[in-house]
Amino acid sequence: MRIVVVGGSLGALRVVEALRARGYADELVVVGTEQTMPYSRPPLTKGTLPGAGDIESVLLRIKPSIANVEWRLGVTATSADLEAGWIELDTGERLGYDGLVIATGVRARQLPFDAPTVPRLSFRTYADYLRSREFTSPGGRIVCVGAGFVGCEFAATAIELGCRVTVVDPLPTPMGRVLGHELGAAIQHRHEESGIAFHMGRGVAAYHGADTGIAEVLLDDGSALEADLIVEALGTRPNTEWLAGTSLDISDGVLCDGRLRAVGAENVVVVGDVARFPNPLFDEVPRRVEHWTMVPETAKRAAATLVALLGSGELDETPFAPLPVFWSDQHVVRVQAFGSPHLGDSATLLDGDVSGDVAYAYWRGDQAVGVAMLGFATKAPEYRAWIVDQLGGSR
């Protein structure tokens, strides 16, 4: 019997660990596009840029229990026949499976500008990190297009390195779509005090490049920003093109049921950022959750489901209801949240003040759906317990 895992990052590592822990002892093959073994992505923007940055510093530990897993790195799945039970690789090989794990994750979005001479990157991989080191010396001019978590993390790290940093975003406040205006404005103010310039409410109209390597970012108000490097932090796209033409719903990631079985296929489960599943903590609407902590959660449940589908044990019919958790280290501020603040339609102050440590609750109608904090590290367990309790009741 063979299980094939498509995707070679954290989700693949955690699911093969979970499969072995569940007693699956047969063949396990992991197919990954990158040339490196699984590594931790969050440190690439959360403050490790000043360090040596060798790949060994972020590689994840390989446990003895998975020492006999076959890793095929630098290979990409290009198509699949889910009825026949095989995937096709860019080498031309067809790899058969009895069980399939989809863990292909997401890739960074880019603006549709053809500007080959402009130094630009989308911060998603270790290769992006290596390239960024060429431009993060003191005095380097960096424009971050996108004021979400990745953009602000990179901007905060670059300003600490002595770069001149500007952040551009069409929204009125950084991270406002997730955290709301009040908290977003507070974060922006702290970054401005550290020297980061913001052009909020502004879009990018074009990039211009020069032979000198200096880029010009033209904004929709006619202004221009010079840059030695453009970092595009514009969100992500699920890596699902290889599943086109199959029976799966890949309109936004891969649609799963409440046990992480891919809807429309046999013996196929989904792990990590690419999984779109319902969470009964909030409602029955399937959503993707791009939080680092969600990867091991989905891996454990998907592994249990797949082992049962392959005939070892009974299928756990308990709905999958993990609590979303995320954090963002931005030097001048640490953001931490529990639940799904972005589902809220209003926010109320729970504790503190926006000038210092502060906590906000997020409500959808009368139901609390999330809590977010700036600072208040010692109170994190208290607010986690609070939102867990609230999700079982009403305001």
Sign of the dihedral through C-alpha 39, 44, 47, 49: positive
CB atoms within 10 A of CB 314: 6
Same domain? For 225 and 115 the reply is: yes
Calpha distance 214→166 (Å, rounded) = 15
Domain assignment present for 123: yes
φ/ψ (deg, to 5) at 47: 120, 0
- The sheet carrying 275-278 orders its strands as 254-255, 275-278, 286-288
Same domain? For 136 and 217 the reply is: yes
Banded pLDDT at 49 (limits 50, 70, 90): very low
What CATH number did the domain enclosing 251 receive?
3.50.50.60
Banded pLDDT at 115 (limits 50, 70, 90): low
Calpha distance 10→215 (Å, rounded) = 34
φ/ψ (deg, to 5) at 6: -100, 115
Q: Which residue type sits at 15?
A: V
What CATH number did the domain enclosing 379 receive?
3.30.390.30
Instruction: Mention every residue, 6+ apart, whose C-beta is less than 8 A from residue 379.
Output: 351, 359, 373
pLDDT of residue 283: 95
The answer to which of 30-44, 112-126, 312-326, 365-379 has the lowest mean pLDDT is: 112-126
Same domain? For 353 and 306 the reply is: no
Percent residues over pLDDT 70 in the chain: 95
Banded pLDDT at 344 (limits 50, 70, 90): very high
Residue where a domain terminates, one of 262, 281, 311:
311
Domain assignment present for 84: yes
Domain assignment present for 153: yes
Domain assignment present for 360: yes
Same domain? For 264 and 284 the reply is: yes
pLDDT of residue 42: 76
Domain assignment present for 323: no
Same domain? For 305 and 156 the reply is: no
pLDDT of residue 50: 44
Same domain? For 90 and 28 the reply is: yes
Same domain? For 186 and 98 the reply is: no
CA angle in degrees (0–180, nearest 5) for 234-127-33? 90
Same domain? For 231 and 154 the reply is: yes
The mean of the pLDDT values for the chain is 92
Banded pLDDT at 124 (limits 50, 70, 90): confident
Calpha distance 153→328 (Å, rounded) = 7
Q: Are 111 and 232 in contact (CB under 8 A)?
A: yes
Residues in the chain: 395
Banded pLDDT at 132 (limits 50, 70, 90): confident
pLDDT digits (tens, 9 = 90+) for 193-240: 999 999 999 999 998 876 666 788 999 999 999 999 999 999 999 999
Domain assignment present for 321: no
Calpha distance 118→100 (Å, rounded) = 40
Same domain? For 76 and 195 the reply is: no
Banded pLDDT at 162 (limits 50, 70, 90): very high
Domain assignment present for 327: no
pLDDT digits (tens, 9 = 90+) for 163-205: 999 999 999 999 999 999 999 999 999 999 999 999 999 999 9
Domain assignment present for 286: yes
CA angle in degrees (0–180, nearest 5) for 262-98-308? 65
pLDDT of residue 55: 77
Q: Which residue type sits at 219?
A: L
Banded pLDDT at 117 (limits 50, 70, 90): low
Same domain? For 198 and 280 the reply is: no
Same domain? For 204 and 247 the reply is: no
CB atoms within 10 A of CB 192: 13
Q: How many domains does the chain have?
A: 3
Q: Are 4 and 86 in contact (CB under 8 A)?
A: no
CA angle in degrees (0–180, nearest 5) for 247-250-255? 85
Residue where a domain terminates, one of 235, 250, 272:
235
Same domain? For 62 and 21 the reply is: yes
Domain hosting 156: range is 108-235
pLDDT of residue 178: 94
Distances (CA, A) of 22 to 17, 206, 259: 9, 52, 16
Average pLDDT over residues 339-356: 95
Residue where a domain terminates, one of 235, 251, 272:
235
pLDDT of residue 258: 94
Residue whose C-alpha is closest to residue 254's, from 56, 103, 82: 103
pLDDT of residue 54: 74
